[in-house]
């Protein structure tokens, strides 16, 4: 079968403010939760007001100053879309101000204008793994209902400001990850109880639906989606207990999508809350607010995992504790590579939510070697992405409506979990070492030209290795 994606399919890459911008205190930016996890979201939480420790994220890849060069390189690859996030702390440095920081707003104006020069459609995440640190210390993060109001003020401000420039929005990045890392997800202490975490998550779900409503009012021609960490689990064995454990494991993250697409809590959560003695304060107004559902569902996909009734088989992954699949190989970071999983996931989500889908993260973190002639031959990355995109195409043939694909980290950036730069995802190499040294010079890898040809041919240059054609 010839591979050809829909004509209006959006092709591009995805980045997040705190992993690329740097300039962490410039132009009035406030401290974010990400600034306070200098060694990555699983590292120590450090109050940067009290401590002059530094982080590689402080300068990151200096996208804040170098974005024109980077956007030009994305354009050279043929990007029609770039997913990026706005740093909430550039707009409201502490989070509870009533007036926004003009310098922060002006930065994103410049950025969107630069993208517009090349007809690159922005897909903007309102909150990608960060929130104002002040809201955590002074208000208790998302545990406090008042934070909903601060978030919606921020959302309203950016919707109004960029209404003519941005037509695709996402609310919270990987909203289901708070269950695994509550500080980054909802600004709570890591030893918080399940009840505290679910209450904070509830506030975030309400804030997300309020943002959806505001977006529809302020930018009627915009589309706004949610964002899930697509942690799809297969049963480890056909043992009924394993199948049921897997069903529940998948509910753990599908729950977020269920609320955000249906507008109410699914029944299975009631039983879960009851059995675990979790009491969530849900007001009548909250129930009303939740009815504002998303226009599309977006997700990240890096790997699948297995579900089992035997918890002792779990291993520490990046964000999740996972049970590995004996049939799959893994990346250098132990992330299991499963291209078929993306087809399975696309079908699962489409059948369940009946909404268009957007793949907003997928890619391979690997150690790249610069050859003596300066080239970087990242065939492993090309293989990974080729095989996943072939399966995305299969899903489209299955009838799934897919709006686009933004690969994670089209330019090397600082990894989220451990703030590593040696874990590279890019088509563009950045000369930066873990100790912060390096010229920050950008250089295309082999995959740069590969992705360019995929986009140019709208998928026709992809190789379906299992096909005999
Ligand atoms: C996703 C996040 O979980 O995975 C990104 O949305 C992150 O922010 C990506 O960078 C890859 O994870 P890591 O730890 O390899 O950067």
* pLDDT single digits (tens) 399-443: 999 999 999 999 999 999 999 999 999 999 999 999 999 999 999
* Cβ atoms of 356 and 403 closer than 8 Å: yes
Average pLDDT value for residue range 99-118? 98
pLDDT digits (tens, 9 = 90+) for 288-311: 999 999 999 999 999 999 999 988
Beta bridge partner(s), residue 315: 322
Burial grade of 303 (CB within 10 A; 0-12, 13-18, 19 or more)? buried
Q: How confident is the model at residue 467 (pLDDT cuts 50, 70, 90)?
A: low
17/172 Cα distance (integer angstroms): 13
Q: Which of 55-69, 147-161, 216-230, 316-330 has the lowest mean pLDDT?
A: 316-330
Average pLDDT value for residue range 330-343? 94
- Which two tokens mark 239? 């043992």
Per-residue pLDDT at 281 exceeds 60: yes
Buried b (16+ CB within 10 A) or exposed e, 194-230: eebbbbbbbbbbbbbbbbbbbbbebbeebbbbbbbbb
Place of tokens 């132990």: 334
Per-residue model confidence (pLDDT) at position 277: 97
Query: Which is more confident, 180 or 389?
Result: 389
Domain spans of the chain, in order of start: 10-232+247-303+337-457
Average pLDDT value for residue range 62-69? 98
What 3-state DSSP class applies to 229?
strand
Q: Whose CA is nearest to atom 10 of ligand 1?
A: 416
Mean pLDDT of the chain: 96
pLDDT digits (tens, 9 = 90+) for 136-169: 999 999 999 999 999 999 999 999 999 999 999 9
State the pTM of this model.
0.97
Q: What is the CA(220)–ligand 1 centre distance, in A? A: 31
Per-residue pLDDT at 469 exceeds 60: no
Interacting residues of 14 by C-beta distance below 8 A, sequence separation 6+:
82, 83, 84, 123, 360, 361, 406, 407, 408, 409, 410
Beta bridge partner(s), residue 361: 300
The minimum-distance atom of ligand 1 relative to the CA of 417 is: 14
Catalytic residue ranges: 361
Average pLDDT value for residue range 275-292? 98
Average pLDDT value for residue range 255-267? 98
What 3-state DSSP class applies to 66?
helix
Q: Which of 83, 128, 361 to mutate to test the pocket of ligand 1 (most atoms within 8 A of CB)?
A: 361
In the structure, which protein residues have their CB atom closer than 6 angstroms to any atom of ligand 1? 16, 19, 129, 173-174, 229, 300, 318-319, 361, 365, 408, 415-417, 423
Per-residue pLDDT at 228 exceeds 70: yes
Average pLDDT value for residue range 196-221? 98
Per-residue model confidence (pLDDT) at position 11: 98
Cα dihedral 311→313→316→317 (10° resolution): -110
Q: How confident is the model at residue 320 (pLDDT cuts 50, 70, 90)?
A: low
16/3 Cα distance (integer angstroms): 30
pLDDT digits (tens, 9 = 90+) for 365-380: 999 999 999 999 999 9
90/181 Cα distance (integer angstroms): 23
The C-alpha angle with vertex 319 and arms to 74 and 356, in degrees rounded to 5, equals 55
Q: How confident is the model at residue 41 (pLDDT cuts 50, 70, 90)?
A: very high
Fold of 10-232+247-303+337-457: TIM Barrel (3.20.20)
123/14 Cα distance (integer angstroms): 9
Per-residue pLDDT at 318 exceeds 60: no
* Cβ atoms of 459 and 88 closer than 8 Å: no
For the chain, give the percent of residues with pLDDT over 70: 98
Per-residue pLDDT at 198 exceeds 90: yes
pLDDT digits (tens, 9 = 90+) for 173-196: 999 999 999 999 999 999 999 999
The minimum-distance atom of ligand 1 relative to the CA of 425 is: 15
Per-residue model confidence (pLDDT) at position 466: 80
Average pLDDT value for residue range 247-262? 97
Beta bridge partner(s), residue 169: 124, 224
Average pLDDT value for residue range 67-87? 98
Beta bridge partner(s), residue 336: 330
The minimum-distance atom of ligand 1 relative to the CA of 174 is: 6
Cα dihedral 100→27→47→320 (10° resolution): 80
Per-residue model confidence (pLDDT) at position 1: 74
Q: Which of 15, 39, 417, 419 to mutate to test the pocket of ligand 1 (most atoms within 8 A of CB)?
A: 417
């Amino acid at each position: 079968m010839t591979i050809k994606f829909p004509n209006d399919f959006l092709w591009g890459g995805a980045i997040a403010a705190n992993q690329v911008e740097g300039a962490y205190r410039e132009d009035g930016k406030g401290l974010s939760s990400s600034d306070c996890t200098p060694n990555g979201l699983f590292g120590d939480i450090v109050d940067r007001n009290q401590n002059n420790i530094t982080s590689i994220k402080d300068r990151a890849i200096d996208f804040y100053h170098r974005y024109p060069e980077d956007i030009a390189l994305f354009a050279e690859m043929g990007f029609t879309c770039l997913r990026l996030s706005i740093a909430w702390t550039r707009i409201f440095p502490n989070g509870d101000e009533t007036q926004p920081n003009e310098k922060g707003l002006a930065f994103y104006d410049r950025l969107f204008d630069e993208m517009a020069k090349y007809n690159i459609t922005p897909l903007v995440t309102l909150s990608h793994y960060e929130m104002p640190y002040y809201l955590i210390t002074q208000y208790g993060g998302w545990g406090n209902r008042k934070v909903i109001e601060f978030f919606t003020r921020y959302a309203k401000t950016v919707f109004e400001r960029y209404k003519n420039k941005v037509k695709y929005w996402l609310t919270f990045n990987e909203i289901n990850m708070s269950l695994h890392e509550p500080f980054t997800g909802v600004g709570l202490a890591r030893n918080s109880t399940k009840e505290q975490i679910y209450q904070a998550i509830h506030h975030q779900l309400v804030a997300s639906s309020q943002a959806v409503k505001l977006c529809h009012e302020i930018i009627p021609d915009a589309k706004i989606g949610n964002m899930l960490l697509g942690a799809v689990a297969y049963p480890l064995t056909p043992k009924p207990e394993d199948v049921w454990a897997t069903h529940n494991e998948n509910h753990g993250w599908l729950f977020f999508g269920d609320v955000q697409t249906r507008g109410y809590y699914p029944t299975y959560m009631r039983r879960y809350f009851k059995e675990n003695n979790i009491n969530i304060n849900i007001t009548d107004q909250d129930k009303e607010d939740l009815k504002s559902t998303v226009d599309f569902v977006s997700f990240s996909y890096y790997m699948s995992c297995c579900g089992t009734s035997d918890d002792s088989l779990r291993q520490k992954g990046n964000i999740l504790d996972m049970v590995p699949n004996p049939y799959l190989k893994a990346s250098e970071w132990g992330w299991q590579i499963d291209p078929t999983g993306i087809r399975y996931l696309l079908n699962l989500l489409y059948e369940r939510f009946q909404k268009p889908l957007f793949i907003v993260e997928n890619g391979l973190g690997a150690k790249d070697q610069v050859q003596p002639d300066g080239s970087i031959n990242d065939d492993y990355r090309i293989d990974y992405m080729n095989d996943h995109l072939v399966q995305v195409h299969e899903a489209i043939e299955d009838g799934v409506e897919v709006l686009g694909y933004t690969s994670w980290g089209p330019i090397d950036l600082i990894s989220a979990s451990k703030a590593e730069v040696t874990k590279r995802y890019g088509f563009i190499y950045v000369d930066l070492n873990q100790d912060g040294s390096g010229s920050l010079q950008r250089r295309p890898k082999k995959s740069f030209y590969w992705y360019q040809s995929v986009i140019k041919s709208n998928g026709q240059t992809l190789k379906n290795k299992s096909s005999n054609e």
